[in-house]
Each structure stands twice: as structure tokens, then as C-alpha cells.
Structure 1
């Protein structure tokens, strides 16, 4: 049971009960190996008696770490960034850390800098950026100073993004498609760039030029908004027989819009996505997409940010074939 009244026990209360310094309590909390067993037992008994709950301020006493990782993120209403933040949280907790997340307009370096400075003021041990833009990383590197910095889906992660996008094209080519269009994400997102490169590289390897290129903002609304233009192209001479969308949400909106325009998916045009979000199998039709190991990527990035050994390999992307893709119409 904790202290009487409404006040919670503090690290000083624990130190007083155990007859040690607050630094010694912090060393117990941080599982320091250089403690006498009887001292550790006395502190642990005081923690139990007082019902003390560990907080980051207590952990940082006598150490150079708050055991907190700062995350600068953009729009968490999108599935990709939201899933990335959730995976980072799990990876950080597995490493004995916590996330402090703040949101910024990642296309605005001033907004990113302000968000990073707020996290750095809290003494975070490292910074991770989710869904970086072309202007984001330079701004963060400038403000981070000596604080370690990492980004989700860059470096090795970007290579897997390219490989995953190529899988979607290879799948369509195997089905017999030669007129494949691309529905790309925002041009200033590094993930969108990596996926564009994957699509274009696979098309080039197959001796195919993109039948058309459209751009969206990752949202289902963006996919729906260009559906009429896509439908006109599909109905035209030598129009695309397939569209490789850069994420599942845009693919969802595109499919809904194409159906509203009187086209059938996949009988008239095939559509593929990217991410394999939690709803992809329940679209109408179920969406052919690319599954990436977001959890593994998050573990890799957290380890990189903290200077820790990697906790295992990141799985390679996998093509999940479903009902939204088929052979091209005769």
C-alpha cells in the first residue's frame, strides 16, 4: 500500500525509507549491476512498501539517459504513419524505453524543427522521424546536434520499399499486363519516392514504359478524386489495363471511384496496393497488395537510434495476391 492521503511516493521517500541516496535508488531502478545485494533488497523492499511507481525523472537521476525516444511524426490518421508509430512504441518498450511523440507538418522544416526542439528539451535519448519528407531530415540533423537520429523506411528500409513496389509490378506482368499505370504518393515523401523507383525499375526491367502516372496524397479520397480521369484513360485506345497504387488507402478510393464510373475491377482494370493494411482483405474486391514488415523495421530503427544491436532481421516484402488483380481483358 502506498503513503496515506492522496500524495504518491517519490524517489526521495524510497531513499529515506531504505536509508540510501536518491542516486542509489536510481541505480536500482535502472538495474545497475554494481550494487550490493543487501542494498538492492532494501531499496526494492522500500519500493514495494511505499507502492512507488517508477517515472523517467527518477530513472534519469545519476544517469545520462531518460530512457525516452522522441518521435517526430506527420499525419497519424493515415494508416502507414499510424502503423509505424504503433510499431515503434512496441519496439521501444521491448528495449526498455518509452516514446514521446509530437506531430509536425513534415513538409515544413520550421514545423519539424520546432517539434524536434520540444522533444530535445525533454532530454530524449534519440530522435526518430516517421514518414520523412525531402526537407525533413536536413532540418532534423541541423537541430539534433549530438542526439542520435534515425528515420523509418530510409536506408535499408527504403530498399525494401523499392523491392516491395517492384513485386506488385512483377505480379501484374506475370498476369500478362503490358499497359500498367502508376498512382504515386506525394512527390516530396521519401517513401513515395522509393515506391516510385521500385515500380519504374520493374517496368523498365520488363521493357515497359508507364502507361500513365497520377499522384495522390495517400488518402482514399485522393484515389477516388482521380477515378474519373483514370476511367477515361482505361476506356481509351491503348489505355492502362492495370494501376499500381502506392498505398492501400488510395487503391481503396480508386476502386470505389472506378466502380462508380461503371468499370469493373479486375475485369476491366486491375488495381494493386501497398502496405497490406488491416482492412485490405475486406475491400470489394479484396485488394492485391504488398505486405511489409513494419514491426521488424521499427525494431531495426529503434536499435539504430539507440546504438543497440539489431534484434533480428527484417522480413522481406511479400506480394499478397487477392481478387483485385487478374489477367488483362481481351
Structure 2
């Protein structure tokens, strides 16, 4: 039997659809019951009978930080896909990020060892990769993490989670890690991931930033994960990036696909520096949640490029062009938007 943590997230829900469609015996962990409706909605994008797929899953209510609740989920499990994580770039969320991303992953690793799980796939992020040297054009799996840099709290905790996986490997666990770029996929339009970017563009964006980063389609992530788990490859990590795009191009392409105006004004670095400071002040004075951190402002103008040559070579893997991915996701976004 296969266990999926984070079954009610973007990666988890799409992974569940693929696994059930392929006839696998699957158990999934969820933390909040109302999120299950979002999963059914994702299934409905790709199936005329989403309830049948949903009902084929053995759902277990548990929190990855609650070991006793998790233990029952690991009974009779052979393979584990660890997709559960908290995504936040708010500096004051460090403690909760640490608890969920690092301690939660440590719990999953320990339970994998205790229950003799054959293989673990951990979903990390390109945020957990290192920074390239001046002579290096691309970031890949060999790029060294630099703890001296001003890393975001999210990046720090995802890197810490990877350390827990490697610790499990040292104790006898077979594992693979994937480091996806910004994942483009349908659903969860309000959840703060790539779906919320489509909604943000739909509402209207006047400014764009000049930074560059890696993007990848959700199905490429899912296919890479399942191929790696079926392969003999163990104890390695893989960058999953289809293309390195500027934020301007990404937001412009999304705007064109959902038929709204694209951003026309460049957000200069000085403007972003002012914006994150004002956001900090607003948070301190009014108790509001941070919307823009110093690290987010920096990444918005950083030209960071990633290489996925490793998985292309080892698995002869081909990525979907981002133009196609954005168009497919925008079509489903428009479908939901028109219904509302």
C-alpha cells in the first residue's frame, strides 16, 4: 500500500488522482476536513466520476506533527510520498514552519524506518537548493547550500527537512528527493501557491518584476515522482524545472491566457525595498500578516536559473513546455471563474 502525506494539497491531490487511476492501493493523510472538497474538485477536472476516485482512497485524519495519530496511517505501508508542508515566507512564521516542515518530516522519516517502508519520496523545493558561485550559470543538485546567506524562513526549513531525509538514509532508509520550481497546476486558487498567482493576475496587476526563476507543470512533478519511486534510483535528489522564466513573461502569459490586461510597469528594486519596509511597519503597528518580506523582494529581482539535466539524463525525462502548462491551467481557471 502507498501512503501520501499532504493529500489535500496541490501536489498531493494530483498525485492521488494518478495513483488511483493506475489501480494502486492508496492511503492519504488529511489535516482539515473542509480541504477534502478541494480534492474532489481537482479530481473533477480530469474525471467524469470524481467521487469514485475519492472513495477509492483510504483517508486518515492526522497531523504529521502528531506521532500517535500518524502511526495508524503507516500500518501495511510499503511506499511513502511525503508531500505535506507549510508554505510561508513570513519571517514571524519560522517556529510553525520549523515544526511542520522539519519536525514533521523527521516524524515521517522515523515512522518509515520503524515500519520498514521500502522507499520514501520527499517533495522539497528549489528554495532549498544552494546559491551558485559567480562562475556558475545554473543551480543544480550539486550546488552547495550556504547558511550564511539571507535565506527565507521557508527555504531554511525545507533545507532542514532534507537533512532529516538524509539522516534517515544514513539509518537505512531508501529515499529520493525532488526539488520542483514554482509548480503550475489547477485548483487551490486561494491557497497561496501558483493557483493564487492566476487569481492575482485576474484581479489586475499594474507592476511586474525583472527576476527569473524556475517553473514546472504539476503533471511533470507527479510523473517524475512516480517514475523515481518505480526505478532502482535511491538516495539522490532531482531538480524539476521545465523552464526558467522572467516573472514579467510568466505574468504576461497568464494574463493573455485569461484575457486580462498584463502588467506594464516595472517594479524597480528601490520600490520593492521601500515596499517590504512599509509592509514590516504595517505588520508591527496594525498586527497584519506580512505580504512582502525582505527575502521575497530580493528574489523578485534575482535572476536565478536552474538545470534539470540530471533527471533528463537518468530517466530520459521530457518536460512540458510552460506555454502549454499555463494555457491548460488558465483554461481550468477560466472554467471555475466563469462558474462563479
Q: TM-score, normalised by structure 2?
A: 0.35
Q: TM-score, normalised by structure 1?
A: 0.36
Q: Which has the higher contact order (CA 8 A, sep 6+)?
A: 2
Structure of higher CA gyration radius: 1
